[in-house]
Amino acid sequence: MLVISLGFGQLLRFAMSGIPIYLHDLLVAAILLTNVRSLPAVLKSFKVLKIFILGILVSSLSALYLYPLSSLLVPSLYSLRLLSYLSLFFLLKNSNSKISQNFFLAASLITTVIGLTQYLLLPDMRWAQYLGWDDHLNRLTLPHYDPTFTGVMLILTLLTLPFTTHRYRNIRYSIYDILILLSILLTYARSVWLSILMTILTMSKSLKYIIIFTIIFVLAIVALPDRFGEGTNLLRTYSITSRVGSDLGYVKKYSWSLLTGRGLNTIILDQKAGILPNHATGPNNSYLYLLVTTGIIGLLGWGIFMKSLYKDSVNKPMLTFFFIASLFNNVMFYPFALLWILLAELMVPNEA
């Protein structure tokens, strides 16, 4: 149920007292509460995160100095969410729990069906700007209300399933791969395309396969429908310059905070209140986000945890994409992406 709920993306998002809550957050909390007696053992597993926790504590002291105590409630809830995801991961890992590949497959199919349905029947998503999302036209946007993050989740699902000979001989998997690749292309998310290309260049040991994939991928992009809208203009430069300018602005604005951090998720407190809600808060680059919020200590500590996760992982291509995509967008701390990669480490593949 938990993995499947991720397939619905932001569609299962609701607010309680103005605080955004996801269905999967409630499921995570329920699992932790029903296994509360196992939590002391989970805390021992947090040793690999001790430097990151230190970074959170140091930056929290900075936050207490910079912001009124009453305003730190919402940021602290985001921190609690992060710690709950990590606790769930260690809880399941310590108990040798395994998650069937079928749940991940079901979640990915749900995302794909929702996305393609939206692209065909509701291509004009500009109305979503009144809900705090960017306005998108003629792009596959749902279920995350953002082509980039929908594309990221689609690729994570694609890379989660093992690439075996059995997979390519199975007509069901072949259809699945075609649909999900088509969905990724229809997002017109160039940073996602670049991330998967860089992942293949990094992971593949065969120059022949790299060249073949690159040619096929370029031809597929060229064949995309040329529909009206700035988002479908593959030569657009505004989004690139705005992202770079935005991140450089954070470096300039919070230069001294890069040492100790301002507190996890406190950047939202510096945003000017507008008439409409705004979900875009913080740097696009996940590593810069960590620097600003948890400082050098937090960045180092999180890097140590990610390295340990990668070292023992059977999903190295998925994690490589996760790391690379986080250079262009804050994928690393997007709740759906982070929880997905943690749960994927516990997946047991179907037998051939």
Assign 175 a pLDDT band (cuts: 50, 70, 90): confident
Assign 151 a pLDDT band (cuts: 50, 70, 90): very high
Residue 283 lies in a domain: no
Closest CA to 265 of 80, 46, 43, 86: 80
Backbone angles phi, psi at 233, to 5 degrees: -80, 105
Assign 165 a pLDDT band (cuts: 50, 70, 90): very low
Assign 352 a pLDDT band (cuts: 50, 70, 90): very low
Domain of 172, in residue numbers: 2-47+72-237+316-347
Residue 63 lies in a domain: no
Residue 166 pLDDT greater than 60, yes or no: no
Residue 53 lies in a domain: no
Tell me what pLDDT residue 294 has: 95
Residue 18 pLDDT greater than 90, yes or no: no
Structure-token pair, residue 114: 């929702």
Q: How does pLDDT run across 190-249, given as a tens digit for each residue?
A: 999 999 999 999 988 777 777 877 888 888 888 888 765 555 666 665 566 777 788 888
Collapse the DSSP code of 21 into the 3-class scheme (helix H, G, I; strand E, B; otherwise coil) and give the result: strand
Of residues 158 and 16, more confidently modeled: 158
Residue 67 lies in a domain: no
Tell me what pLDDT residue 208 has: 78
Whether the full predicted model's pTM is greater than 0.85, yes or no, is yes
Of residues 144 and 254, more confidently modeled: 144
Residue 208 lies in a domain: yes
Residue 268 lies in a domain: no
Pick from 63-67, 122-126, 161-165, 299-303: least confident: 161-165
Q: Which distant-in-sequence residues (6+ apart) come within 8 Å of 192 by Cβ? A: 148, 151, 152, 155, 184, 325
Task: Give me the DSSP letters along 176-205.
Answer: HHHHHHHHHHHTT-HHHHHHHHHHHHHH--
Percent of the chain residues past pLDDT 70, beyond the cut = 89
User: With left for phi above 0 and alpha for psi between -120 and 50, is residue 21 left, alpha or beta?
Assistant: beta
Task: Give me the DSSP letters along 200-236.
Answer: HHHH---HHHHHHHHHHHHHHHHTS---SSGGG-TT-
Structure-token pair, residue 176: 């699945």
Domain count for the chain, please give it: 1
Assign 163 a pLDDT band (cuts: 50, 70, 90): low
Say how far apart CA 268 and CA 104 lie, in whole Å.
Answer: 32
Q: How does pLDDT run across 270-320, given as a tens digit for each residue?
A: 877 654 455 667 899 999 999 999 999 999 999 999 999 999 898 999 999
Q: How does pLDDT run across 111-128, given as a tens digit for each residue?
A: 999 999 999 999 999 999
8 A C-beta contact, residue 117 and residue 77: no
Residue 308 lies in a domain: no
Tell me what pLDDT residue 124 has: 94
Percent of the chain residues past pLDDT 90, beyond the cut = 60
Using alpha carbons, list the distances in angstroms from residue 4 to 122, 167, 291, 336.
Answer: 24, 21, 32, 11
Q: For residue 57, what is the enclosing H or E element?
A: helix 50-66
Structure-token pair, residue 199: 């992942």
Residue 303 lies in a domain: no
Q: What is the mean pLDDT of the chain?
A: 88
Say how far apart CA 336 and CA 213 lie, in whole Å.
Answer: 28
